[in-house]
Amino acid sequence: MMENASDVTLLTLSGLDFTSEYKITLFLLTLLWYLIILLGNISVIVAIVVDKNLHEPMYIFLGNLCINALYGTLGFYPKFLLDLLSSHVISYAGCMLQGFVIHSSICCDFSILALMAYDRYVAICQPLVYNSFMTKQRVTIFVFFSWLIPIYCMFMNTATLLGSSLCGSHVKKIYCVNWMIFTLTCSPPTANIGVTYFNLLFYFAHFVFIIWSYVYLIKTCLGSTENWGKFMQTCLPHLISLATFTISVLLDLLYMRYGSPNLSQDLSNFMSMEFLLIPPAVNPFVYGFKLTKIRNTFVNFVYIKRKKRVSTHGFFSDKSVLSETAT
């Protein structure tokens, strides 16, 4: 039964229907996972900022990918953890904000992954012009637009829903997305449909460009052992990141629009949050272990800390020996 539009001020996230014992367990596991995401991404960002050897386009793009992971997960995890401890309701404005953050983060990911693919294409296929083309100014412009365009696209999508009267208050997910708000509107706005399909086509074009870039790179690198080594060293992490992210997003998108209502709630929740679980946690470790410069930065940091600790311990040992000799 439709609710009076004027009465809908709070929305209920109906995907959070768990028992109290299950909520406590899920809260602890989610908090641990979120801390892993924070630690991994912040570590990579700090390493790139501190180490001047990492002030290169590829690592700058990677740093922005990690920043975007923090931005996107910030739109989900704090609210989700709070919902596990209290009532799972959200204001209309809060729901719109959460949807905007999560959607814009997804779009930013595709923009940055497209930049990474283009960077590798220039570096491997046109190495002689790489340094003259990928200048600091140009990289800054690329990064700026990789954030501006997704945020603008999702702002337009969200703006077309603002002020719409709602005839329902139950969001059938564990977080808010614009599509769910659209299904609750009494009179679905036509402008939102147009903007949504434009955004889908625009970022599908990003995906096609990324795939084309890597197919071209593979064809180019197969004829050269040196280039193939570069590809495996620097492009393989990008491909792993692209695959995990794209599959996760597609699963959520396809299920949200065409999924069966008979699917279990637990499986539905997992598919909904998979792109917020796996890519943000896996990417820092994939890049950290695979990219030599980042791995060396962490190794050197641990070595220096250990050396200082040994040096300090040795200093105090020497003082004790001198004290014993004096007596």
Catalogue all structural domains in the chain, each as residue range(s) with its CATH number: 5-290 (1.20.1070.10)
DSSP reduced 3-state for 170: strand
Residue 82: what residue type? L
- Give mean pLDDT, residues 10-32: 81
Determine which helix (DSSP H) or strand (DSSP E) holds 299, and give its type and residue range.
Answer: helix 292-326
- Give mean pLDDT, residues 278-305: 72
pLDDT value at position 3?
46
pLDDT at 35 over 90: yes
Tokens of 96: 């719109």
Report residue 152 CA to chain centroid gap.
18
The pLDDT confidence band at residue 5, using thresholds 50, 70 and 90, is very low
Question: In this predicted structure, which of 60-64, 101-105, 106-110, 255-259 has the lowest mean pLDDT?
Answer: 255-259
The whole-chain average pLDDT of the chain stands at 81
Model pTM?
Answer: 0.83
First to last CA, the chain: 91
The pLDDT confidence band at residue 303, using thresholds 50, 70 and 90, is low
The pLDDT confidence band at residue 326, using thresholds 50, 70 and 90, is very low
CB atoms < 10 A from the CB of 225, how many? 9
Q: Residues of the chain with pLDDT > 70: what percent?
A: 82
pLDDT value at position 324?
42
Q: What is the CA radius of gyration of the chain?
A: 24
- Give the separation between CA 69 and CA 280, rounded to whole angstroms: 5
pLDDT value at position 256?
72
pLDDT value at position 39?
92
**Pairing status of strand 170-171 against strand 89-91:** unpaired
pLDDT value at position 185?
84
- Give the separation between CA 150 and CA 202, rounded to whole angstroms: 10
pLDDT at 25 over 70: yes
Of 160, 154, 158, 177, residue with least CA distance to 107: 154
Question: In this predicted structure, which of 13-17, 175-179, 275-279 has the lowest mean pLDDT?
Answer: 13-17
- Give mean pLDDT, residues 252-262: 70
Q: Residues of the chain with pLDDT > 90: what percent?
A: 28
Between 33 and 314, name the one with better pLDDT: 33
- Give mean pLDDT, residues 38-54: 89
pLDDT value at position 270?
79
Note whether 40 and 74 are within 8 A (CB). no
Of 140, 144, 132, 184, residue with least CA distance to 161: 184
DSSP reduced 3-state for 12: strand
pLDDT value at position 313?
55
Note whether 125 and 48 are within 8 A (CB). no
pLDDT at 44 over 60: yes
pLDDT at 2 over 50: no
pLDDT at 316 over 60: no
Between 125 and 323, name the one with better pLDDT: 125
The pLDDT confidence band at residue 258, using thresholds 50, 70 and 90, is low
Angle between helices 236-258 and 190-221 (to 10 degrees): 150
pLDDT at 55 over 80: yes
The single residue listed with the structure tokens 């009465």 is: 7
